[in-house]
Amino acid sequence: MLKPKLLTKTLQQTNTDGINGTMLFNSDGSLIASSGDRDKNRTIAAITANIWQTYQKKSNDPLINSDLNVVMINCKEGKVIIKEVCKMFLCVHSGNDVPTGILKEKLISLAKFLEPSLSKIVI
């Protein structure tokens, strides 16, 4: 069984070395758990869920052969990386000073760690 406080603590452990927030949310962008600035995380979750859904629709096009794995967004204000994990989305965001490779590696490591527990949740 997944414990909410333990999940939040796990997400908080990712927020080191310039990472400002880590969150888990559903396909409509509603937060399930997060660490960091909650209002900022809500906004990022809503926007990135929409971006993911748009890419997902395009990948269903028979002319495009794509299995969407990770979406990386570089903005003026920072970086956001999102990954689907068990029909939910895991996302980390940082300032521009964090190398994209480190951000991606932290996201993938966290996803691998959480996947066994998240796979037991029915959405």
Predicted confidence (pLDDT) per residue in 34-45, tens digit = 999 999 999 999
What integer pLDDT is reported at residue 107 of this predicted model? 95
What integer pLDDT is reported at residue 89 of this predicted model? 94
List C-alpha distances in Å: 44 to 21, 60, 68, 116. 10, 24, 19, 25
List C-alpha distances in Å: 58 to 17, 89, 91, 92. 34, 18, 21, 23
In the predicted model, what is the mean pLDDT of the chain? Answer: 88
Determine what percent of the chain is predicted with pLDDT higher than 90. 65
- Count Cα atoms within 13 angstroms, Cβ side, for 11: 26
- Say if residues 99 and 108 touch (Cβ distance below 8 Å): no
Predicted confidence (pLDDT) per residue in 89-113, tens digit = 999 999 999 999 999 999 999 999 9
**Domains of the chain, with CATH numbers?**
4-60+67-118 (3.30.450.30)
